[in-house]
Amino acid sequence: MSYVPLTPDETAIVLVDHQPGVLAMVGSLPAAVVTNNAATLARLGAELDLPLVITSTRENLEFLGTNLTEIQEAAPTAYENRVLREGTLNAFHDPAFVDAVAATNRRTLVIAGLLTDVCLFHSVVSAVKAGYRVVVAADASGTTTELGDAVTYDRLRDAGAEVATTYGVIFELYSDLSTEEGRRAEGVASGSLAVA
């Protein structure tokens, strides 16, 4: 596959099930790393006006909770407009989610989610089948084991998705730090270092 850089005018960010109860199951990366990177992606969307879709599942279950506080604080409007799913593991099986993603009018999706081999996997495969270019932010995602992540990322690559990091996404989208947008993106990235 020939390399095609990400561009802000074609890209939306999608955050799937970054909830305390799901994060508690993650062992492939430290919880602080996943939280920080997911919040950084949320902040990037909010501060650089990239379309941002946030979704959660079964918030009515107390042990799962709503989206992480750090995501709420980074992108309060997107959080307020989040898609509340009733239990579909595949976010694309929820019509409201499908509509929210379509409403971004972007054909490239940067997706991060928990758990990597469950909700993220199903959602990414469906996004690719729907014709989206998908880039998975691996360090804002995670599952129970490192092996689970490794196997899932191999399967996602085979399905047509790309795998990157949060910093990789930021500085691919905004590769010229002499521009106003580049400096703002650098500020978002620098802020993530301050809390890491």
Q: What is the pLDDT of residues 82-94, one digit of tens each?
A: 999 999 999 999 9
Say whether pLDDT at 194 is over 60: no
Whether 196 shows a pLDDT value over 50: the answer reads no
pLDDT-derived band of residue 42, with 50, 70 and 90 as boundaries? Answer: very high
Instruction: Decide if pLDDT at 77 tops 90.
Output: yes
Say whether 176 is catalytic.
no
- Looking at residue 191, its pLDDT comes to 83
Overall average pLDDT of the 124-133 stretch: 98
Q: Can you point out the beta strands (E) in the chain? A: 11-16, 52-57, 83-85, 108-113, 133-137, 162-164
What is residue 11's three-state secondary structure? Answer: strand
Query: Which one of the listed residues 16, 46, 119, 188 is annotated catalytic?
Result: 119
Determine contact, residues 138/41, Cβ cutoff 8 Å.
Answer: no
The single residue listed with the structure tokens 């081999």 is: 117
Q: How far is CA 132 from the centre of its chain?
A: 14
pLDDT value at residue 26: 98
**pLDDT tens-digit series, residues 141-177:** 999 999 999 999 999 999 999 999 999 999 999 999 9
83 token code pair: 């898609």
Residue extents of the structural domains in the chain = 8-195
Q: Residue 44: what residue type?
A: L
C-alpha–C-alpha distance, residues 192 and 97, integer Å: 28
What average pLDDT score do residues 4-16 get?
97
Q: Which CATH class is domain 8-195?
A: alpha beta
Cα(180)–Cα(186) distance, rounded to whole angstroms? 10
